[in-house]
Amino acid sequence: MKRIKIAEILRTEPVGTEVTVKGWVKAFRNNQFIALNDGSTSNNLQVVVDFENTDEQTLSRIKFGAAVSATGTLIESQGKGQKVEVKANSVEILGDCNPDEFPLQPKRQTLEFLRENAHLRFRTNTFAAVFRTRHALAYAIHKFFNDRGFYYIHTPVITASDAEGAGEMFRVTTLDLDKLPRTESGEIDFSKDFFGRSTNLTVSGQLEGELAATALGEIYTFGPTFRAENSNTTRHLAEFWMIEPEMAFYDLQDNMQLAEDMLKYVIRYALEYCADDLKILEERLIEEEKSKPQDQRSEMTLTEKLRFVMENEFVRLTYTEAIDILKNSTPNKKGKFQFPVEGWGTDLQSEHERFLVEKHFKKPVILTNYPAAIKAFYMRQDDPKEGVPGPTVSAMDILFPGIGEIVGGSQREERYDRLVNRMQEMHIPEQELSWYLDTRRFGSCPHAGFGLGFERLILFVTGMTNIRDVIAFPRYPGSAEF
Residues 6+ apart with CB under 8 A from 145: 152, 220, 245, 262
Q: 218-226 and 199-201: which strand pairing? A: unpaired
Across 421-464, the runs of DSSP E, i.e. the strands, are: 447-453
Q: What is the b/e burial string over 36-73, where b = at least 16 CB atoms within 10 angstroms of the residue's CB?
A: bbbebbbebbbbbbebeebeeeeeebbbbbbbbbbbbe
Dump pLDDT digits (tens) for 182-205.
Answer: 999 999 999 999 999 999 999 999
> In the predicted model, is pLDDT for residue 181 greater than 90?
yes
- pLDDT confidence bin for 300, thresholds 50/70/90: confident
- Can you say how many angstroms the Cα of residue 432 is from the centroid of all Cα atoms in its chain? 31
Most confident of 162-171, 245-254, 297-306, 353-362: 245-254
Cα separation, 163 vs 169, whole angstroms:
10
Q: Where in the chain is the domain with CATH 2.40.50.140?
A: 6-102
Query: Could you give the strand order of the β-sheet that contains 315-318, starting from the edge strand earlier in sequence?
Result: 151-152, 218-226, 239-248, 447-453, 404-411, 392-400, 365-371, 315-318
- Can you say how many angstroms the Cα of residue 31 is from the centroid of all Cα atoms in its chain? 42
Alpha helix (H) residue ranges in 297-446: 302-311, 319-327, 330-333, 350-354, 416-425, 434-441
- Distance (Å) of CA 19 to CA 8, 15, 68, 459: 11, 10, 14, 37
CB 445 within 8 A of CB 289: no
pLDDT of residue 234: 85
> In the predicted model, is pLDDT for residue 458 greater than 80?
yes
Q: What is the DSSP string of 161-205?
A: --TTS-----EE--S-TTS--B-TTSSB-GGGSTTSS-EEE-S-S
What's the full length of the chain, in residues?
482
Dump pLDDT digits (tens) for 70-118.
Answer: 999 999 998 888 899 999 999 999 999 999 999 998 888 899 999 999 9
Alpha helix (H) residue ranges in 47-88: 56-60
- Distance (Å) of CA 119 to CA 103, 131, 365: 11, 13, 37
Longest dimension (CA), the chain: 86
Q: Which fold is adopted by the domain 123-168+203-469?
A: BirA Bifunctional Protein; domain 2 (3.30.930)
- Can you say how many angstroms the Cα of residue 264 is from the centroid of all Cα atoms in its chain? 15
Cα separation, 410 vs 380, whole angstroms:
7
Q: What is the DSSP string of 104-158?
A: --SS---HHHHHHTTTTGGGSHHHHHHHHHHHHHHHHHHHHHHHTT-EE----SE
- In whole numbers, what is the pLDDT of the chain averaged over residues? 94
Q: Which fold is adopted by the domain 6-102?
A: OB fold (Dihydrolipoamide Acetyltransferase, E2P) (2.40.50)
Q: Where in the chain is the domain with CATH 3.30.930.10?
A: 123-168+203-469
CB 67 within 8 A of CB 95: yes
Percent of the chain with pLDDT over 90: 86
Cα separation, 226 vs 169, whole angstroms:
7
Residue 51 gets which letter from DSSP? Answer: G
